[in-house]
Amino acid sequence: MHIAELAGKDPFSRRYFMEMSAKLSFGLSLSVPFLPRNFKAQEGGKAKNLIYIYLSGGMTHLDTFDPKKNKDVMGNTEILDTNVDTMKFGMHLKELAKVGDKLAVINSMTSTNGAHEQGEYIMRTGYEKRATIVHPTVGPWAETLLGKRGEILPDSVLVGQSTSNAGFMDPALSPLPIADPKGGVPNTDLIVEGERFDRRMQMAQKLGQQFSDRFKYAGPKSYVEYYNQANRLLKSDALSAFDISGESNSADYGESRLGQGCLLARKLVENGVRVVEVVAGGWDMHQDIAGGTGDRLPELDLALSTLIKDLESRGLLDSTLVALGTEFGRTPDINMNSGRDHYPAAYSCLLAGGGIKGGTVYGETDGMGKKVKANPVKPEDFLATIGYGLGLNLEETVYSPTQRPFTFADKGVPVTALFG
């Protein structure tokens, strides 16, 4: 059977055609935005790039950025002074304490999503999870609203996961997934000689064009263009942007996947990638909170503090917004297993660079870290703040293929007070 004919048979055959097209293209992003955009970006931050570090599992706010004097709440964690009088951290964040004047800590995050999947979904898309639609993350939104930045490199990259998608937007806008930050872009070694490879690429282009011409469906047209971009990438020096093996300060970031992910993120934005998400797990600490924080927090401390200092030394901090997010906090009560359970009512996030006013502590919880007392920030507000920092038009409407209207961060309200 001719491969183009698969597209007209059944759902499995059509899906197979799409998957084979994507594999041939190495999953690279296109230069075609979801919809043409002609508008003036709203006033916002001055960030040109975003590094969004997402801690999957639910980072404890009490042992990190919102410590309390109550010993029953804090357990073994002691309070650490930073270089900002009003900013206090947990005892494992010694290096971040030295760059507190570069940070804006939000201690009034609050959500109603106490499950991991739903909590992570809204923190990365700005929308509640629904069974009927998949919403885009920041990268596809930024490319849609701002346009494609480069000709060869993808506009957005996802580090720490092996798959990605663009939600209801064109599949071409999907962030390029890099599961292992040390592994570079997978499947980029040519297994056939150059002329033979070019012939195969031409054949793939022809088959893809036949599919588009026959079925008149706009979505798959993106895969036709994948071939050209993949070919350009393979024949260019751009792949070196994904190789961190020769970075002289690699050890400064630490050998954890989070640390090396942050190093890769720095190198990518330095080479022109607009949005990099770094996803790291291990923060669901229902048991032994002292042991869990003792393992994970030094890794975070080293990775994030080094990233901020590295960006600053290279003149990139002012133009790069660094965000740290998680789906919820952990309970003020330490449970019978010496751990902390899910707690969406109050938690902490962090921003730095990209026009952020350093040395800021925004919002406040009560003496047990249980209730938000001032300036609550919802997940969609946090995403809107990121969008504001990038200069995205938060009011511009984008329509899904079913003609449903959407805006970035679902009408979240940006915390403009964090910018100075």
Residues 4 and 70 in one domain: no
Position 41 scores a pLDDT of: 42
Residues 126 and 6 in one domain: no
What angle (nearest 5°) sits at the alpha carbon of residue 143, between those of residues 138 and 148?
150
Q: What is the mean pLDDT of residues 361-366?
A: 98
pLDDT band at 203 (very low <50, low <70, confident <90, very high): low
- Is there a single domain that holds both residue 255 and residue 155? yes
Same domain, 71 and 172: yes
Q: pLDDT, tens digit, for every residue of 139-154?
A: 999 999 999 998 899 9
Same domain, 324 and 396: yes
Q: What pLDDT does residue 228 have?
A: 62
Looking at the predicted structure, is the pLDDT value of residue 2 above 50?
Answer: no
pLDDT of residue 219 exceeding 90: no
According to DSSP, residue 410 is labeled G
**CB neighbour list of residue 252: distance below 8 Å, 6 or more residues apart:** 302, 306, 310
Closest of 355, 404, 412 to residue 138, by C-alpha = 412
Global confidence as pTM: 0.85
How many domains are there within the chain? 2
Confidence of residue 229 (pLDDT cuts 50, 70, 90): low
| Position 40 in a domain | no
- The mean of the pLDDT values for the chain is 86
197 against 345, higher pLDDT: 345
Boundary residue ending a domain (240, 275, 310): 240
* 114 plus 20 within the same structural domain: no
Q: Does residue 39 form part of some domain?
A: no
Distance of CA 71 to the CA centre of its chain: 35
Residues 6+ apart with CB under 8 A from 27: 164, 174, 176, 177
Query: Are 393 and 305 found together in one domain?
Result: yes
Let me know whether 12 and 61 are in one domain: no
Same domain? For 251 and 275 the reply is yes
Boundary residue ending a domain (240, 272, 306): 240
Cα 110 to Cα 378: distance, rounded to the nearest angstrom? 5
Per-residue confidence band for 199, with pLDDT thresholds at 50, 70 and 90: low
List Cα–Cα distances, 227 to 205, 212, 222, 235, in angstroms: 7, 14, 9, 12
Same domain, 209 and 293: no
Confidence at 186, pLDDT banded by 50, 70, 90: confident
Residue listed under structure tokens 């309070």: 79
b/e code 76-92 from CB counts within 10 Å (16+ = b) = ebeebebebeebbbbbb
Q: Please report the beta strands in 56-138, taking only residues with DSSP state E, as ranges in sequence order.
A: 79-81, 88-90, 103-109
330 and 371 fall within a common domain: yes
Please report the pLDDT score of residue 38 as a whole number: 34
Q: Is 400 exposed, middle or buried (0-12, 13-18, 19+ CB in 10 A)?
A: middle
Range of the domain at 11: 1-28+194-240
Rounded distance, CA 347 to CA 361, Å? 13
> Is residue 234 over pLDDT 50?
yes
Lowest mean pLDDT among 115-129, 230-244, 266-280, 391-405: 230-244
Residue 46's pLDDT band (boundaries 50, 70, 90)? confident
User: Domain for residue 189, yes or no?
Assistant: no
Predicted pLDDT of residue 325: 98
Asked whether residue 77 falls in the same domain as residue 23, the answer is: no
pLDDT at 396: 97
Question: pLDDT over 90 for what percent of the chain?
Answer: 75
Q: pLDDT for 368-386, tens place per residue?
A: 999 999 999 999 999 999 9
pLDDT over 80 at 224, yes or no: no
The per-residue pLDDT for 185 is: 87
Please report, rounded to a whole number, the percentage of residues in the chain having pLDDT higher than 70: 78
pLDDT band, residue 214 (cuts 50/70/90): low
Classify residue 35: in a domain, yes or no.
no
**Can you give the CATH number for the domain in which 141 is found?**
3.40.720.10
